[in-house]
Amino acid sequence: MFHPTLFRNPVVRKLLMAFSGLLLAGFIVAHLLGNLTVFLGPNGINAYAHHLKQLGPLLWVFRGGLLAAAGIHVSFGLLLTLENRRARPMAYYRNKPQRSTLAGRTMIYSGLCLAAFAGFHLLHFTLRLLGPEITPWLDALQRPDVFSMLVIHFRLAGFVLVYILGMGALYFHLSHGLGSMLQTFGLNNARTLPWFGLLSSLIAALLAAGFAAIPALIFFGFITVQGGAA
């Protein structure tokens, strides 16, 4: 069935990166759409959090899939980076890149920043181990009071900074990653080639800006406990 040489094939490895990257990016889009309910006030995002919790076992299926995708992406990302470096044991004295981008050449660093950010984010909002405690945790309708948590935590410059930097890494990673993924899936041709790079940067910018808008708007007082309360 799966011959051992299969996973040594450079195209297979690249396809695994692209497919796991696609799953992660799909999660990012869904996550952003969910987050945007913060603009509807507590009734938006608290209700969203409540419904997520009610998915029960299904939520764990999603989380398991996501974890598997992340595991594949990170392990093959590290492996490919090490192998690709080994393929050029000696660097050029002079090297003048023509077409590659800084974002493309630093995928491993933006990727590792994203992994660090994801760890921080889980400790922060999923496990609620960082920042001021929110009591009571449930709102008047017995839903998790995510709204208050966001509005209180994102008044703190340190948190805002970490989230904005994290989204910078996301922009960087996806500005190369999305276009690269389309090429890996073989969806590119002479006509689409000049556009995929641009499209990739544009979507990456929209996603990163969408996420970053939340801490930024809260920090600058556009979303407040009073103003947001519906």
Nearer to ligand HEM, 29 or 55 (CB): 29
| Shortest Å, Cβ 74 to another protein | 16
| Shortest Å, Cβ 190 to ligand HEM | 19
Binding partner of residue 114 among ligand HEM, another protein, none, CB cut-off 5 to 8 Å per kind? ligand HEM
Task: Decide if residue 37 touches another protein (CB under 8 A).
Answer: no
Binding partner of residue 126 among another protein, ligand HEM, none, CB cut-off 5 to 8 Å per kind? none
The residues in 60-99 that bind ligand HEM, with binding defined as CB under 6 A, are 73-74, 77-78, 80-81
Neighbour count for residue 129 (Cβ, 10 Å): 10
Which of 144, 177, 215, 228 forms a contact with ligand HEM (CB under 6 A)? 177
**What's the rounded Cα separation, in Å, for the pair 151 and 209?**
18
Percentages (nearest 5) of helix, strand, coil residues in the chain: 75, 0, 25
The residues in 152-211 that bind another protein, with binding defined as CB under 8 A, are 176, 179-180, 183-190, 193
- Residue position matching structure tokens 């921080």: 120
**What's the rounded Cα separation, in Å, for the pair 117 and 161?**
12
43, 46, 52, 54: CA torsion to nearest 10: -90
The amino acid occupying position 170 is L
Task: Decide if residue 92 touches another protein (CB under 8 A).
Answer: yes
Q: Which residues contact 181 (CB under 8 A, 6 or more apart)?
A: 18, 21, 22, 25
Q: Which residues bind ligand HEM (CB under 6 A)?
A: 14, 17-18, 21, 24-25, 28, 73-74, 77-78, 80-81, 107-108, 111-112, 114-115, 173, 177-178, 180-181, 184
